[in-house]
Every structure is written in C-alpha cells, then in structure tokens.
Structure 1
Amino acid sequence: MFAEPPRNEPPRHEPAPVAAAPVQPAAPAAPTGGGARLASAEDWLDLVADAGLRGPVRELAAHCAFCDYADGVLSLSLPDSFDHLRSDSLLRQLAAALAPHLGAEPRLRFEAARAAAGETLHDRTQRQRGERQAGAESDFLSDPVVAQLVKQGATLVPDSIRPLDDH
C-alpha cells in the first residue's frame, strides 16, 4: 500500500474579530394591520380623503369633525343639520371602511356639535375650492392683456372665471 502524499491545503485560520458597529435604537415600528396614526383633526381629514369612501358614507365622514381617538373609540362631532346621516347602517359601514386604516374597527361615539371640534372634510374642500377660485380670478385680472381690455371698456361676466383644475 502506498501512502498518499500530503495535500497542499491552505492553513485554516479563524476569522479575525470584527468590531461591531454601535447598536442604534430601532425606530418605532409602524402599527401592524394597516394601523394609521389618528391623533389630530388633520390626520382625520387625510384618513377620510384617502379611505375611498363613496355615497352617503362619504357624506357622513365628510361632515364629521374629529374630537378624539383612544382605546379603539373614535369620537366625532356632527352638526345637527346632518344628523340624518347618523343611521345605524351608515355608522356600521363607516366603521368597517375605517378598520383597514386603523388596524381594527373603531367604535364610533358622537359628541355634541361644537364649533371648536375642528374643520370637516367638507369645510376643507369648500375652503380650498374658494382659495383656488380667488387665485384664478386674481391671476386672470392681473394679466396685462385682460387689464388693457378692461381699460378699453370690456366687462367681465361674473362667475365666468374658473381654475384650470375645475373642469
């Protein structure tokens, strides 16, 4: 029997220790299950605008002002003039539509309508539409050609000026 010649294997080395980078505290994780942050009236307006609501449920949400959200209870304020939207069916539909965004179906509680409750989505939409309209009118009237025509006796038809995004 012949002995095998020794193999030319490289010597085995243990890996050199690597200095570990300092551990940074992890950023707070986003809530699981699609949970959204709902701490202010602005968060509520964004949630309602992005929830894909349609029909009467959207009207209900659009006229509600945010009061508070804690322990799964969403407190809203609804003016008396829109109380007809507060049917059991629409409330169930609203809670179900908000569930994917909040991580769980909220219990809805309505507080007495109060002026300090904040802006509703309907109010914000109306305000933004008015701001766009005022901007369009200002831009139109500041145009040098329009100003020249007005000086020459041209008249403007009231409410004929529209923002470009209001097709």
Structure 2
Amino acid sequence: MDRKLILNLSLLVGQLFLWQSCTHNSRRVTTANTKKEITAVSISTIGGFTATPSNGYTIRITRDSVYHLFSAIDTAHSTLKSYANTEDKWNLLLDKIDLEKFADAKEGESRQPYDGIDIKISIQAKSGKYTKLNADNSPSWNRIYKQLEESFSPQLLENKK
C-alpha cells in the first residue's frame, strides 16, 4: 500500500510540473502572438492651419513598407511616397507597443480649436484597430510616439530621397 501511495504522489507531482511548464510556455506564446498580430502602425498630424500655413502628414508603417502622405493645404502639392522598411526598425517599434495599455490610454482634447496640431496614433491588429488622439499623458502612447519620431519622422523620410 505504501508503494501505491508513493507512486500516486509521484504521478501527481509529475502532472503538476507538466501543467506548470505548459502554462508558462503558453504565456510566452501569447505575448509573442500579440506582437505578431500587429500589422500596421500609423501616425497623423492634423491642424495648425490658421495663423501660419502648416502641412499635415500621415505615415503608415508595415513590416516591409513605410508610406508617407504629405498633405498640403493646396491638395495639388500633396504627395505620397513609399519606402522599404527594415526588420530591425519594425521590431524596435513593436518592442515599444503594449497593445492592452495603448487601448486603455485616455485620449486628450483636440488642439485644433486653438490652432494646435492634433497627433493621432493608430495600431492595426488582427483583433481590430486601436486609435488614440493626443494621448500624451499616457506612457504607452508616448513610448510609441518617441519611437515613431526616432525612426520614421517626416524629416528622416525626406532625407531618403
């Protein structure tokens, strides 16, 4: 009878270790899948036209491409350019994104009524699109914004001509 008890306890302990290792790996896979589920990130600036003519832009970044739409007040001067993206830049951007925290970020007020510029960041994922306007009080939004400015700012893209 003692052998049966020892055998059953050994099997129970083995099952617990197996269960723990399986759940631990599934957490890592879930985090990796969240990163893989993001298909595009966009940043847009809108407004600031009253006192000094200003121009807005939209930059859409995917794993392999960067699209830059420069929106001029006179639409005849608007341009759309595309560039190749690198795996390193894409991964640096993904490393800054926590999709859950970004989705929970509180948006700020529009700055356009005061001739300000609104900044909108959008993340396209397989689970949907997440968009936040002027959420600069959110650390998650700020991390993404800083990475977009460091790697994909209009000035950097214009230097690629």
What range is the shorter-chain TM-score in?
under 0.3
With structure 1 as the length reference, what TM-score do the two structures score? 0.27
Structure with the higher helix share, 1 or 2: 2
Instruction: Determine which structure has more spread, i.e. the larger CA radius of gyration.
Output: 1
